Structure 1
């Protein structure tokens, strides 16, 4: 007679009669074998980084062009440029651009932020020359047809109006103004009325003035011969030239600690908690230890902050702490949304966990778990051609190359528990933090006023 099958839960599988099953030790992190890589600067000033990654017969492309602007109208013009740059050239209409890319299994798209205009895409390796030819055509001959600009302008106006009503957008813009005042970095989304006034001629003028090769970075990753790929790019982009460099965003002011700012959102039933403090760039010797300290604090699901305000107290569905790398530096952000009645208690517990990082140092077990997560996450995120290309493009924007990526798992492994504790003591002191709270001030002012450290409207 066959015995009945007993199904065990994940918790039961993970435990023995002696307690939880121990995790195997983290293996030694050896430097990865150097992929075939070519890092060079073309005569027009464009840096090209080509990496051989033969996973699938594709090539991934990431172009980052510094695209800062001081003018109040720059954000609106740049946003409209990014949505219409692929809508036609002197040689190709919009349909022909799409058709030529589709013929080689390719695609291109463009996005913009206060720092960069980014053009990304992919194609079959055998269609690499076509991909480069379309890219060159766009960079040197985009025409921004009047009807395309008008259509995208109308769509953007509607989209921005909707976005500006979203709590997370309101919170992000309030945090940016609170941290950086009127610095151009805060203009992540233009006003709908500003976009409505942009003309096609103004977009064409911005392209001619600001879409420049010198200072830009092109990353290519795929089943490619790096030298052959660079030669092909050089031939395709030989006509993309300028006698000046693309415009970098000026350095940001350091974020000082101080009171939180309550931003009134009438009738809101939820609140957005956004805290921020100075961090360090990836090149800082303290970065590996601080990365692990931040993970212990709130950087992943098993962190102290998540365990407290999500798992234990149920104040939020999600909470996270993560770094944001900015021109010349970095900050760390804490992000949580709560019901109005839970806002003050959630702020109290978040402050408690920040302070606890300094007086109750991370344990060996906490550091070991964070280390596993950091190494595993880095390796997983760069396992694909697309993931590696995006990571290398982000690093290149910070002046770093593939060697940083290869060596970082080893740096994380060498970090000691004492070094993580020192980083926590140095960077998590409560007086380094500031931020904003977005919610209904009529409901929040009294409990937050009693809590203290909050500037009321």
Structure 2
């Protein structure tokens, strides 16, 4: 009886496995084409002090998200203020003139949400969420945080120590170090290219400097308030007007446009005994306002910017030199840059660079097959649609338009513009922008082992036709 049951069980398993094998051999159904994105109807208004607001009803979930985005970031620091914007943002979360940090957290929690402050290269974001019926109360709390930060001196030491730890951890990560050196090479005379702030610089910041930076840089004229989700438009507009119309106008929006450097350069940072080398290989390219930008995005995705990209298949799937290579197109204010990044085994540092160079040359000399390009375009279009599938996503996309001074059509026509890219355009884009002889190469690794490989690669790069 036992043998009979065992035979039946084995037979069932074999039948199941055979069915699975047949299913794997069958061609999967073709995926649906991403639809064009339709920007939800939005209400925009501006206050007398220069503050602008954008309100977008979106979805049926009874929650509202709010972002108060101020055009103040690391680009507004002087060389001696490296990291000061981060200290200002971190201290803003420690309370206002009438609420301490604990009271802030408790009040927002009672609204069914949260509030946080984040600082980037160009902007400071005060973002929060709450249940829909509490939207006006959320606006009041966030406005208090924006207009009346206390900057408690008692928290300065803790905030500075936390920031030092974060930067020291980044210095220990080869990827972060390589990216910092890469940006420094491309943007040597701009805040985009600054290295991590030193402990001594962070220790030297005072509360007076924090307050002064806030007074000089923050104001209504640099601020946009975004409201998205399910909310009462009349009540939210009234709340924004009542809470922020009395805020000072402040300085006008201003970001110094960087002048990136394009040059063939190699920077090697020694990491003795490292089993891997971290590679960053790239150059300046155009920003999102340029007519070539969409073709450049698709080209990046095909070359190295997606899991199905050529460089990923080559040095990950075929050669096994690395686990997670990727390329990226960074959109900064009025400028941009492209870079291929990979953590590769030390003994194959030179081989990895050689294969990256091979794939760049191949794309520049031979247009991709329509079928390959179609898959990449579907991926890019689908990714774009996913980014717009939540209120936070809508806010992020709208702010992207604002920062880069782009029309709504940049979003609304994006799917069709992606699908309009031809194989010939991709080839021409690679020829025009992916020029290895003009690329900056940063490598963090065991110098003793990789130096001979890099010298050989440099010699090959000099003979490269592009």
TM-score (ref. length: structure 2): 0.90
Residues 195 and 409 (structure 1 numbering): CA distance in 2 closer, same or farther, change over 3 Å? same
Residue pairs, 1:316-395, within 5 angstroms: 316-395=322-401
Partner-residue secondary structure (3-state), 2:222? coil
Q: Which residue in 2 is equivalent to 1:104?
A: 111
Q: Which residue in 2 is equivalent to 1:262?
A: 268
Residues 14 and 422 (structure 1 numbering): CA distance in 2 closer, same or farther, change over 3 Å? farther
Show structure 1 runs of 5+ residues with no match. Answer: none
Q: Distance in 2 between matches of 1:382 and 1:437?
A: 36
Of residues 382-391 and 290-299 in structure 1, the stretch that sits farther from structure 2 once superposed is: 382-391
Partner-residue secondary structure (3-state), 1:328? coil
Residues 104 and 403 (structure 1 numbering): CA distance in 2 closer, same or farther, change over 3 Å? farther
Partner-residue secondary structure (3-state), 2:340? strand
Residue pairs, 1:98-137, within 5 angstroms: 98-137=105-144
Q: Which residue in 1 is equivalent to 2:79?
A: 72
Among candidates 301, 313, 329, match of residue 307 of structure 1 = 313
Q: Which has the higher helix share?
A: 2
Residues 218 and 401 (structure 1 numbering): CA distance in 2 closer, same or farther, change over 3 Å? farther
The answer on whether the counterparts of 2:295 and 2:425 sit within 8 Å (CA) in structure 1 is yes
Q: Deviations over 1:155-177 (max 9, x none)?
A: 22223222212212211111111
Instruction: Indicate whether 1:15 and 2:22 are aligned.
Output: no
Q: Distance in 1 between matches of 2:330 and 2:182?
A: 13
Instruction: Indicate whether 1:6 and 2:19 are aligned.
Output: no
Partner-residue secondary structure (3-state), 1:276? strand
Among candidates 432, 450, 455, match of residue 426 of structure 1 = 432
Residue pairs, 1:197-236, within 5 angstroms: 197-226=204-233, 228-236=235-243
Partner-residue secondary structure (3-state), 1:435? strand
Partner-residue secondary structure (3-state), 2:383? helix
Q: Distance in 2 between matches of 1:314 and 1:175?
A: 25
Q: Deviations over 1:326-382 (max 9, x none)?
A: 121211121111121111111111111111110121110111001110111111121
Structure 1 stretches of at least 4 aligned residues deviating more than 3 Å after TM superposition:
7-12, 26-31, 225-228
Show structure 2 runs of 5+ residues with no match. Answer: 1-7, 462-466
Residue pairs, 1:114-193, within 5 angstroms: 114-187=121-194, 189-193=196-200
Q: Distance in 1 between matches of 2:80 and 2:460?
A: 33
Q: Distance in 2 between matches of 1:9 and 1:316?
A: 34
Residue pairs, 1:237-248, within 5 angstroms: 237-248=244-255
Partner-residue secondary structure (3-state), 1:6? helix
The answer on whether the counterparts of 1:272 and 1:438 sit within 8 Å (CA) in structure 2 is yes
Aligned length: 449
- How far has the Cα of 1:31 moved from its partner? 5.1
Among candidates 41, 47, 54, match of residue 59 of structure 2 = 54
Q: Distance in 2 between matches of 1:420 and 1:12?
A: 36
- How far has the Cα of 1:134 moved from its partner? 1.2
Give the aligned CA root-mean-square deviation in angstroms. 2.4
- How far has the Cα of 1:74 moved from its partner? 2.2
